[in-house]
C-alpha cells in the first residue's frame, strides 16, 4: 500500500516553512517517529518525524523549497500492501467503486451555492504558501476560524484585507475595496527600490536570504510599518547589582547557569508588568480593543550565526533568578546550535534585547508584534554621578524602551521605566511590595 507523508502542523501562527534538509532518500526504509527532514521557519529549525513506516518510493519536495502543512513530502510503500490486496476481491469493494461516481454528479448541483465566496473578485484565487496580511487581520482570522490561504483577494500582491476576511467568514462575496487594498499594500512599495543598483567597479556578490533572514525581514517590515514606535531612554545605577552578581555568581554557576545583569532584569520585569499591564498586552485593531495578558512570558533576543532568534522564558513570574539564569543559558545554546523547538519561540508577551556585550549606549529596538513594547539594554559603564555634594563613580546601565503609541503614552513609558529602575537600584523593594 502506498501512503502519503504530509507535512504536519508546525505550530501556532506558522503558516509555512522551507525544506532545509532531507534526512532520507528514495529507497530508504523509515520507521514511524524517525526524523526525516528539517524545516526552517522564521525563527527556528525543526526536525520532523515520519508519521508512517515503510520504504520511500518518491520524494515530491526539493531542499530549499517552500512548503506548508498538509503538503505531500514523499510517498511510502508500507507493509500493509498485502492486506489491502487481500481485501480488494471482497464483493462490497467492486460495487463501491462503481457506485461512487453516481452520487458525484448529483452532489455537484447542490454544491453550486458554495463557490460564491471564491468568486467575488475577478482573478481572485486561494494562494498556497505564506499569505501576506497585517497582524490585526491574522488575529481576526484566527478568532473567526478562517484559513487565510482560502480567502480570495483582489490585491495583485496577494495581501488579504480585513474586509475580505470578514466577507469570507460570512460566506458572502469579498468586497473589492480598492482603497483599503491600497493602504494594506503600502508596506510593500519600497521593494522596487532594489531593482536598479548603481554600477560599481569592484563587482558584487548576490547572496539569497536564508529562510530565517527572509522571514525576519518580512516580520520586521510589518512590525515597523504597522506599529507607531516611540522609544524612551533612561539609565539605572546597577553598582549594587554588580556587587551582588559577583557575590552570588558562583552559586548560580553551580546550578548550571550564569548570573548576569539580565538575570536581575528578567526577575524584576514581571512585577513591573503587573503594575503596568499595557506593556503586557496586544492590540486587536479589527475589534478596536486591547487584550491584557495575565501570564508573563519574556522573550530574550539571542544573536546567532544564523540571525536573530527570540526564545521565550515561560511564566517568568513564577521562577527564581537561578532558574531563569539556567533556562536562559540553555535556550541561548539551543538557539546557536539551531536546536530550538517551535514551542520555545512562541507565546511571548514582552521582549528584552541586550546589546551590552557589543557596545553602544542607546538604540531603537523594534517591537515584536503582537507585543506592545520591547526593552533594549546597552553596555553598562562607569560614570560620574553627583551625590552627597560630590561626584562619585557609579555603574550606569542604559535602557531603551520602545512602545506602541496606539496603546501606551509617553508618561506611561516614563513611569514603567522608572519603576523598573527603582527595583533594580533597590532590590529589596520586591520583598516589601511585590
What pLDDT digit, counting tens, does each position of 173-228 carry? 444 444 444 444 445 455 555 555 566 678 899 988 877 788 788 889 999 999 99
DSSP 136-184: HHHHHHHHHT--GGG-----TT-EEPHHHHHHHHHTSPPP--HHHHHHH
| Residue with the larger pLDDT of the pair 400 and 105 | 400
Q: What is the mean pLDDT of residues 272-293?
A: 96
Specify if 103 maps to a domain. no
Write down the pLDDT at residue 265: 98
Write down the pLDDT at residue 177: 42
d(CA 352, CA 342) in angstroms, rounded, equals 19
In terms of average pLDDT, the best of 25-34, 73-82, 155-164, 242-251 is 242-251
User: Do 332 and 259 fall into the same domain?
Assistant: yes
Environment class of 344 (CB within 10 Å of its CB; exposed 0-12, middle 13-18, buried 19+): buried
Indicate which CATH number applies to the domain containing 157: 4.10.320.10
Q: Percent of the chain beyond pLDDT 70?
A: 79
User: Do 168 and 293 fall into the same domain?
Assistant: no
Write down the pLDDT at residue 42: 63
Compute the half-sphere exposure of residue 141: CA atoms within 13 Å on the CB side of its CA: 23
Task: Report pLDDT digits (tens) over 226-256.
Answer: 999 999 999 999 999 999 999 999 999 999 9
| Main-chain dihedrals φ then ψ at residue 84, nearest 5 degrees | -65, -40
Which of 127, 108, 109, 126 minimizes the C-alpha distance to 117? Answer: 126
User: Do 153 and 41 fall into the same domain?
Assistant: no
| Residue with the larger pLDDT of the pair 101 and 40 | 40
Residue with cell 478562517: 146
Given the residues 219, 229, 361, 405, the one annotated as active site: 405
User: Do 395 and 317 fall into the same domain?
Assistant: yes
The average confidence (pLDDT) of the chain is 82
Task: Report pLDDT digits (tens) over 9-51.
Answer: 876 667 778 888 889 999 999 998 888 988 877 666 777 888 8
User: Do 284 and 428 fall into the same domain?
Assistant: yes
User: Do 381 and 242 fall into the same domain?
Assistant: yes
User: Do 142 and 281 fall into the same domain?
Assistant: no
Residue 383 near residue 408 (C-beta atoms within 8 A) = no
Indicate which CATH number applies to the domain containing 250: 3.30.559.10
Which residue blocks in 235-363 are alpha helix, DSSP H? 239-254, 261-275, 321-336
Write down the pLDDT at residue 191: 52
Q: What is the mean pLDDT of residues 165-178?
A: 62
Asked if residue 107 has pLDDT above 60, the reply is no
Q: Percent of the chain beyond pLDDT 90?
A: 47
Least confident of 176-190, 251-265, 273-287: 176-190
State the residue range of the domain holding 396: 228-433
Specify if 218 maps to a domain. no
Specify if 221 maps to a domain. no
Specify if 354 maps to a domain. yes
Specify if 216 maps to a domain. no
Could you confirm whether 219 is annotated as catalytic?
A: no
User: Do 291 and 167 fall into the same domain?
Assistant: no
Domain count, the chain: 3
Using 50, 70 and 90 to split pLDDT, how confident is the model at 150?
A: confident
d(CA 286, CA 90) in angstroms, rounded, equals 56
User: Do 49 and 175 fall into the same domain?
Assistant: no
Using 50, 70 and 90 to split pLDDT, how confident is the model at 298?
A: very high
User: Do 264 and 355 fall into the same domain?
Assistant: yes
Write down which residue in 87, 108, 143 finishes a domain: 87
Specify if 208 maps to a domain. no
* Ramachandran quadrant class, 193 (left: phi over 0; alpha: psi -120 to 50; beta: rest): alpha
Vertex 159: Cα angle to 66 and 169 (nearest 5) = 105
d(CA 183, CA 198) in angstroms, rounded, equals 30
| Residue with the larger pLDDT of the pair 43 and 143 | 143
User: Do 333 and 398 fall into the same domain?
Assistant: yes
10, 14, 150, 156, 215 from 18: Cα distances, Å: 11, 11, 21, 24, 10
User: Do 276 and 144 fall into the same domain?
Assistant: no
Write down the pLDDT at residue 106: 42
Q: What is the mean pLDDT of residues 117-128?
A: 44
Write down the pLDDT at residue 195: 54
Specify if 50 maps to a domain. yes
Spell 185-216 as b/e; 16+ CB within 10 A means b: bebeeeeeeeeeeeeeeeeeeeeeeebbebbb
Task: Report pLDDT digits (tens) over 303-353.
Answer: 988 788 899 999 999 999 999 999 999 999 999 988 888 889 889 999 999
Specify if 35 maps to a domain. yes
Q: What is the mean pLDDT of residues 356-370?
A: 94
Amino acid at each position: 500500500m502506498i501512503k502519503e507523508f504530509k507535512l504536519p502542523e508546525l505550530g501556532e501562527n506558522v503558516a509555512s516553512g522551507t525544506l532545509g534538509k532531507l534526512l532520507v532518500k528514495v529507497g530508504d526504509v523509515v520507521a514511524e517517529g524517525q526524523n526525516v527532514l528539517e524545516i526552517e521557519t522564521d525563527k527556528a529549525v525543526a526536525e520532523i518525524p515520519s508519521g508512517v513506516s515503510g520504504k520511500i518510493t518518491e520524494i515530491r519536495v526539493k531542499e530549499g523549497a517552500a512548503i506548508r502543512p498538509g503538503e505531500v513530502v514523499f510517498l511510502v510503500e508500507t507493509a500493509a500492501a498485502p492486506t489491502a490486496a487481500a481485501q480488494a476481491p471482497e464483493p462490497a469493494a467492486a460495487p463501491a467503486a462503481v457506485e461512487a461516481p453516481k452520487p458525484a454528479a448529483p452532489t455537484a448541483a447542490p454544491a453550486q451555492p458554495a463557490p460564491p465566496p471564491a468568486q467575488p473578485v475577478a482573478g481572485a484565487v486561494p494562494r498556497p504558501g505564506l499569505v501576506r496580511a497585517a497582524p490585526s487581520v491574522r488575529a481576526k482570522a484566527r478568532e473567526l476560524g478562517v484559513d487565510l490561504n482560502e480567502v480570495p483577494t483582489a490585491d495583485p500582491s496577494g495581501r488579504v484585507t480585513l474586509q475580505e476576511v470578514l466577507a469570507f467568514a460570512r460566506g458572502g462575496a469579498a468586497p473589492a475595496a480598492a482603497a483599503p487594498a491600497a493602504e494594506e499594500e503600502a508596506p510593500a512599495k519600497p521593494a522596487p527600490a532594489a531593482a536598479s543598483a548603481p554600477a560599481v567597479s569592484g563587482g558584487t556578490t548576490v547572496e539569497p536570504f536564508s529562510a530565517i533572514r527572509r522571514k525576519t525581514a518580512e516580520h520586521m517590515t510589518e512590525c515597523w510599518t504597522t506599529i507607531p514606535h516611540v522609544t524612551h531612554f533612561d539609565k539605572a545605577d546597577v553598582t549594587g547589582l554588580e556587587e551582588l552578581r559577583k557575590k552570588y555568581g558562583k552559586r548560580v554557576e553551580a546550578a548550571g547557569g550564569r548570573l548576569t545583569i539580565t538575570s536581575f532584569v528578567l526577575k524584576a520585569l514581571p512585577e513591573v508588568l503587573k503594575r503596568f499591564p499595557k506593556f503586557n498586552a496586544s492590540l486587536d485593531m479589527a475589534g478596536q480593543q486591547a487584550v491584557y495578558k495575565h501570564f508573563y512570558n519574556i522573550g530574550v533576543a539571542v544573536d546567532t550565526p544564523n540571525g536573530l532568534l527570540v526564545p521565550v522564558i515561560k511564566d517568568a513570574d513564577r521562577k527564581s533568578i537561578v532558574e531563569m539564569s539556567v533556562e536562559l543559558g540553555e535556550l541561548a545554546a539551543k538557539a546557536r546550535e539551531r536546536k530550538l523547538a517551535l514551542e520555545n519561540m512562541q507565546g511571548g508577551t514582552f521582549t528584552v534585547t541586550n546589546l551590552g556585550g557589543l557596545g553602544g549606549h542607546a538604540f531603537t529596538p523594534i517591537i515584536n508584534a503582537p507585543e506592545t513594547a520591547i526593552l533594549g539594554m546597552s553596555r553598562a559603564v562607569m560614570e560620574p554621578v553627583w551625590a552627597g555634594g560630590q561626584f562619585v563613580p557609579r555603574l550606569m546601565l542604559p535602557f531603551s524602551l520602545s512602545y506602541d503609541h496606539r496603546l501606551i503614552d509617553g508618561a506611561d513609558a516614563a513611569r514603567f521605566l522608572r519603576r523598573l529602575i527603582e527595583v533594580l537600584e533597590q532590590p529589596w523593594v520586591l520583598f516589601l511590595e511585590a
